[in-house]
Amino acid sequence: MKYVHAFEEGSKEQKYLLGGKGANLAEMTNLGLPVPPGFTCTTDACKAYMAGSDTLPEGLMDEVAAALSALEGKMGKRLGDDSDPLLVSVRSGAAFSMPGMMDTVLNLGMNDHSVQGLAKQTGNERFAYDSYRRFVQMFGKIVLDVPGDAFEDALHDLVEERGLSVDTQLSADDLRSLVGTFKEIVRDESGVEFPDDPHTQLGHAIEAVFKSWNGRRARDYRRMEGSPTIWAPR
């Protein structure tokens, strides 16, 4: 069974395999529309995850690694690169619309090396470290179940400590320091270190999106909408 399909391999008729979002991205790609390249983990992969007691199915991450390598070739960028890094998003999708009910992880691939590359690429060190601290915050909250308030409180404390009125006034150095603080929060609240390896980040993010299919928010939405529960996310 194949678990990963590049966008150009699918079509709009495959929404039960690729999810509505994945099927539409495939259709737009094949129509020649300007869609950034990517790939979809199928609903079969999610079903296998749930059937296997919340364990990623054998072979999935090998397929993901191959699809990622192809994506890097298309983009001319490499995940985690310290000069011109590729950053990816892990988004959810299902055969029917569930807006905002499942989890998403953005800017995956940020670490102490790639943040330097993003700063060079954009010519904006502050932007790079703001993106990094937001990624650590999102990853900690969504993937590692760290309370969101822990990050917000640390951000608020730093703004007050610097005598500022809003966080947009924080400098690049302030945000670099905040990244370290956020990593400490991740360690203290979850009991594990924030993963610096982008491929490890990717595996955890995929698992978190699969897991969110049975999260309370998604279950409540399906119940209210009368939606079937057997269709898994892309």
Could you tell me the CATH number of the domain that includes residue 124? 1.20.80.30
Domain assignment of residue 146, given as a range: 112-196
- Extended strands (E) in 20-163: 39-41, 78-79, 85-86, 88-90, 105-108
**Same domain, yes or no: 57 and 170:** no
Domain count for the chain, please give it.
2
Instruction: Please check the confidence at residue 21 and state whether its pLDDT lies above 70.
Output: yes
Work out the percent of the chain whose per-residue pLDDT is above 90. Answer: 78
Asked if 202 and 103 sit in the same domain, the reply is yes
Same domain, 8 and 80: yes
36 lies in the same domain as 71: yes
Helix (H, G, I), strand (E, B) or coil at 67: helix
Check whether residue 75 and residue 125 sit in a common domain: no
| Residue 213: predicted pLDDT | 75
Q: Residue 93 — pLDDT band, cuts 50, 70, 90?
A: confident
The percentage of the chain sitting over the pLDDT mark of 70, rounded to a whole number, equals 88
Quick one: DSSP state of residue 195? P
Residue labelled with tokens 């990593």: 183
pLDDT at 26: 95
Q: Could you tell me if 135 and 164 lie in one domain?
A: yes
pLDDT in tens, 136-168: 999 999 999 999 999 999 999 999 999 999 999
Three-class SS state of 144: coil
Q: How far is CA 70 from CA 18, 93, 99, 122, 221, in A?
A: 19, 22, 29, 24, 36
Residues 180, 201: one domain? no
Same domain for 67 and 5? yes
209 plus 186 within the same structural domain: no
Q: Is the pLDDT of residue 69 over 60?
A: yes
Mean pLDDT of all residues belonging to the chain = 90
pLDDT band at 98 (very low <50, low <70, confident <90, very high): low
**Tell me, what CATH number does 4's domain have?**
3.30.1490.20
117 and 101 share one domain: no
pTM summary value? 0.89
Average pLDDT over residues 116-121: 96
Over residues 102-124, the mean pLDDT reads 94
Q: 150 and 44: one domain?
A: no
Q: 201 and 98, same structural domain?
A: yes
CA atoms within 13 Å, Cβ hemisphere of 58 = 0
Mean local confidence (pLDDT), 82-104: 78
